[in-house]
Chains A and B, each alone.
Chain A
Amino acid sequence: MSRARPTYEPRSIQCRNCGAGVELKDERTRLRVCEHCHAALELSGTEQRVLGMGRPSTVPYRIEIGARLAISGAEYEVIARVCYIEDADPSDQTHEYYLYNPRRRPLWLSDYDGDVSMTSRTRMLPDVSPFSNAAVRTYDGRSWRRVETGVYEVFHVDGALPYVLSVGDRIRYAELVAADDPSEIYEAQETENEIEYGRGRAVSEEQLGRWLGRPLAVRRTVGPAEPNTTLNFIACGVPAGCAVLLYFASTVMPPGGQLVLSEQVSMAELDAEHLSAPFVVPHDDCVVQVRLSADRLMNAWMYARMALVEADGDTVIHVADAEFGLYSGSDYEGRWTEGSSKADLLVRVDDAGTYRLLLNGVSGIGEDPSTRAIHPLTASVRTDAINSYPMRVAAFLLFGVACFAGFLVMATGGLRTSSVGIGVMVLAVVATFAVASVGIYGTSTGWGTPELEHPDGISIRRSSVSGATAPLFFAVYYSPRAHLGGGVHSGK
């Protein structure tokens, strides 16, 4: 007593990502790519998980999802398509179509550069590994000749598959043809977990057209994939953008810390040597910034010397000098200004304590030499100052990364969506993150701040003994000379 066949009704689910209705033709479906939002959904029972987001296909498939093929008296529907590439070359494409019929075992239609074949799974095993160089026989006594072996990389997938496959997955394959009939195919596909064998035949374009009930579209030659704008923008733009941001931040960053001294030094005092009021460095390993600014400097230069002196006023532990100038004028392009009227000197002071500055300087107008100061100076000291030098170095390094990425983009004609293109982008982003992090961390900890030149100290009194007139420390420490002026050469 026969019962009527239950109706075949594809199931319908809602895409977990976009909510659109998605049809499941095969109840074994494990992977479903939503045709509305291109989310890859992993199905397990009634559960759904979004594996990732795909993109609309740019692969020149010749058969569309939903196409029906009448093969040997049975009707099959294309419910999935997979595009494989080899050697990370997006132009070397193999297109595979998963053909479904609820009452027959599934078929795979393969299209490589117009060579079409149809295979299905077989349990007929080979006597040796089909990936080896040995002659292959199957246990039905047939001999097979190896045509090709290689590794496929999944480049694109859409539709519904009874297993999970992701872009980038790699599958080792071997293709063999029968020794006595080259149109008969035996193949092996090996993934990390299993090896499957298939068997089938080569199919002519005319035959495939008959199955489809229409002429087959001429295979479009696959040129190199179009450069991926997003990929190129990220690879070059991220390091370049970060370089600009870091450099800008380093220039506008406030000096930070605490102002512990601000003192006007007259021209007469600069001519001699001026010992400042005492100031306190609150802790060991403190970054100290000394700012020398000559606000009246205009079309003039100044050469200033600074010594950090322990509070007793006798022991110098650090010596530095600075040369700066500010020039301004006008030409056919308009007004211009160049240089600066101030200079910053940084030093890491080893020990907490009370210190003074010993200052001396000369200044002049234009590029004229001078042996005395004709501008006053303001000296200010900040403790726990910020040293933005590491950020500037990081900015220059990132500029180098951006240039290198740009070179790669130009050399390749633009990065494509391939393992190489994505790898370059990832490297650029990772390098940017690493360099920027190191630069910011270095700035926060004062990396690159000059150490004390004389941590053991030089006695001013002892130095002065050999000087011509006490207590001129700088006259002894530096060779006596008249500054020849023009630290910054004027003119554009």
Chain B
Amino acid sequence: MAANRPELQCPSCGAPLPIRSPASLQAVCAYCHAVVYWNEQGIQDAGRKSHLIEGFTRLYRGATGTLRMERLEVLGRIRYGYGGGFWDEWYVTIGHGRTAWITEDDHELAVQSPYEGDVSAALGLSPGGRFVLDDTSFEVGEVGEAECVGVEGEVPKYVTTGERYRYLDASSLDGRLSLGIELDADPPSAFLGAWLVHADVQLDDDEASW
């Protein structure tokens, strides 16, 4: 479980702002939806609001459970939109404070962590293009431009609603591994992980009906 920081207060409304991960750099107040961040000068009000509708996703901010038998806690999310819809990037802690991202796209989950290897073989490919990464063959599923449409909870980076980046998504040919590349970073930043089946994630309040 993530360690609690000394409790912060929202500079906008004064409500408590519990921060669960020491790696977090930005949070959204659950009460007034003010976006706040902190740096050497202390906690700052970004002067913006961000509000995402909840209830339509399997994961949710504050959810706890297990991911492949390891303790899971959901800290926050960023929602990205693209021409055909949107997906959520959930910021989670796994086990004893290890952080990761879980992508939830059309109710399918993939857990990803930063990948430090060379992904240059994937750059420039179009959907359907194939490449090899660490002896595993991948196929590009999508290349596009994403726009941040909202944030909630805490996240380990500064992100602004409306900011855009180009991305490339790929899956291994056997459908098990997932790779996401943010193309605008130099060098591009990559996240590698695995697609999850429903049973891989067990939430404490999972139930059949809704």
B208 touches A125 (CB 8 A): no
Contacts of A9 in B (CB 8 A): 55
Which of B106, B139, B208 lies at the interface centre, i.e. has the most chain A CB atoms within 10 A of its CB? B208
B55, B86, B141, B209: the one contacting A6 at CB < 8 Å is B55
Tell me which of A74, A106, A140 contacts B106 (CB under 8 A): A106
1/0 per residue A100-136: CB within 8 Å of B? Answer: 0111111000000000000001111100000000000
Q: How many residues of A contact B (CB 8 A)?
A: 35
Complex CA gap A7/B57 in Å reads 11
Which 4 pairs between the two chains have the least Cβ-Cβ distance?
A: A3-B62, A123-B175, A6-B54, A103-B58
Total of A-B residue pairs, C-beta within 8 Å: 89
- Is the CB of A480 closer than 8 A to any CB of chain B? no
Chain A neighbourhood of B198, CB < 8 A: 104-105
Which one of B58, B84, B175, B205 lies within 8 Å of A125 (CB-CB)?
Answer: B175
Interface majority SS on A: helix, strand, loop or mixed?
loop
Q: Assess the B56–A75 pair: CB atoms within 8 A.
A: no
For A75, give its contact among B64, B174, B175, B209 (CB under 8 Å).
Answer: B209
Tell yes or no: A73 within 8 A of B by CB: yes
Residues of B with C-beta under 8 A to A123: 141, 171, 175, 195
8 contacts between A and B (CB under 8 A): A3-B60, A11-B53, A28-B85, A103-B57, A103-B58, A122-B175, A124-B175, A140-B175
Interface SS majority for chain B: loop
Q: Is the CB–CB distance between A102 and B58 below 8 Å?
A: yes
Q: Does A2 contact B (CB under 8 A)?
A: yes
Count of residues in B whose CB is under 8 Å from the partner chain: 34
Contacts A28-B85, A139-B173, A139-B175; A102 near B205 (Cβ below 8 A): no
Which residues from A are CB-within-8-Å of B60? 3, 5-6
Cα of A122 to Cα of B205 in the assembled complex, Å: 27
Please report which residues of chain B, range 82-123, place their CB below 8 angstroms from some CB of chain A when the two chains form the complex: 84-86, 106-108
B49 within 8 A of A: no
Decide if A125 touches B210 in the complex (CB within 8 Å). no
How far is A221 from B138 in the complex, measured between Cα atoms in Å? 45
Q: Would you give the shortest CB distance from B124 to chain A, in whole angstroms?
A: 20
| Distance between B165 CB and nearest chain A CB, rounded to angstroms | 19
Interface presence of A312 (CB below 8 A): no
14 new A-B contacts at CB < 8 Å, known A3-B63, A101-B107: A5-B63, A5-B205, A8-B210, A11-B53, A27-B53, A27-B56, A102-B58, A103-B58, A104-B107, A105-B198, A123-B171, A124-B175, A125-B173, A162-B106
